[in-house]
Amino acid sequence: MSEVPETELPEHGNDPFRTRCAMLVSTLAMCLAIASLGGNNASKESMSNNILAANAYSFYQAKNIRQTDYKIAADELRIQLASDKLSPAAKQMAEKKLEAYEKNIARYESEPETGDGKKELMEKAKEHEHERDIALRQDPWFDYAEALLQISIVLTSVAILTGTMALFWVPCFLGLVGIFCTINGFMLFI
């Protein structure tokens, strides 16, 4: 039985070029992890706020339908009251009912103590839409960052394997652009 010789990488000792490349890969990998985390959070945030906005609009529509029902009922009572065909007791009951309907109509329009009036619901929906829009603006920047950082890591690996210094500067530049995209994803400078 013959032994297969082990293949060994040549000894390079403390090669500064390989050390720089290793540090670059480590830095790029760390930034890639941050960009990936930011992108995932932006996606979740946009989806969550989109759902919350849709729920607020649905609740708004339900309140609007109920309010319209009360308005129709109040209008019918006003017509009955104007006809003068009601007895004094019936007229008094109709006036109390009309007053209750008008209170409900006003409550459906705005209910600051609970935040469930149409006015408050519309504000909530618009706030959720605003948050969703911010997350949707952030997300592509994280995608660009992830792609650039991954390409930079691959090109740095090629530079290590070939030992070519010129190949080191391309991933440095792409990595810097990727880092800028990550930062911009969080801060939205652009």
pLDDT in tens, 105-128: 999 999 999 999 999 999 999 999
Tell whether the model's pLDDT for residue 2 goes beyond 70: no
Task: Give the domain range for residue 82.
Answer: 16-187
The reply to whether 80 falls in a domain is yes
The reply to whether 65 falls in a domain is yes
Distances in Å between the alpha carbon of 101 and those of 62, 96, 97, 148? 17, 9, 6, 62
The reply to whether 126 falls in a domain is yes
Is residue 188 within 8 A of residue 142, CB to CB? The reply is: no
The reply to whether 7 falls in a domain is no
Q: How many structural domains does the chain have?
A: 1
- Residue 98 is predicted with a pLDDT of 96
Average pLDDT, rounded, for the chain: 93
- Residue 166 is predicted with a pLDDT of 84
Q: Residue 120 and residue 164: Cα distance in Å, rounded? A: 63
